Amino acid sequence: MERTFLAIKPDGVQRGLVGEVIQRFERKGYKLVGMKMMQVPRETAENHYGEHKGKPFFDGLVDYITSAPIVAMAWEGNNVVAAARQIVGATNPQNAAPGTIRGDFAVDIGRNIIHGSDSVESGIRELGIFFKPEELTGWERNVDRWIQE
């Protein structure tokens, strides 16, 4: 079953949006299989955002993501990577559609509330950075048969 890495960034935590964000994925029907609050070490942030190293916004991005706690999460479900990106919305909240998390709660690209993996491969890579295998919990949910045929 497909998994993705989602993280409520420091601004989302500070603004009291943890419950709101989690609720959107729960209500959709995806399954939470890992979660922890943590302050991200600088080295971890630089690894996670390695594809952006050298870009003008890289240092500010790492400063922001390490500045206060995040909530790191693993979510599971059919097509969850792409579907979560849609729920998250466009990178720049100015372009994010209303109804998306970034569209509803953010105005600045540097304070866009949430991270979501951009591909299945990124999801595997990012979950490996933030979680030990034993921290991800496969579990049976009785309602699954009412969500997925």
- What positions carry a catalytic annotation? 115
Q: Is 113 left (phi over 0), alpha (psi -120 to 50) or beta?
A: left
Interaction mask 25-54, ligand DAT, x per CB under 6 A:
---------------------------x--
Spatial distance between the Cα atoms of 13 and 7, rounded to a whole number of angstroms: 10
Whether 104 contacts 69, CB under 8 Å: no
Which of residues 3, 31, 48, 115 is near ligand DAT by CB under 6 A? 115
Closer to ligand DAT by CB, 33 or 112: give it. 112
Interaction mask 116-135, ligand DAT, x per CB under 6 A:
--x-----------------
Interaction mask 89-108, ligand DAT, x per CB under 6 A:
--x-----------------
Return the one option of Mg ion, ligand DAT, none that residue 59 interacts with (CB less than 5 to 8 A, by type).
none
Spatial distance between the Cα atoms of 116 and 126, rounded to a whole number of angstroms: 10
> CA end-to-end span of the chain, whole Å?
14
Q: Which residues of 74-90 are buried (b: 16+ CB within 10 A; e: fewer)?
A: bbbbeebbebbbebbbb
Choose the stretch contacting ligand DAT; rule: CB under 6 A; options: 31-39, 73-81, 110-118, 133-141.
110-118
Return the one option of Mg ion, ligand DAT, none that residue 9 interacts with (CB less than 5 to 8 A, by type).
none
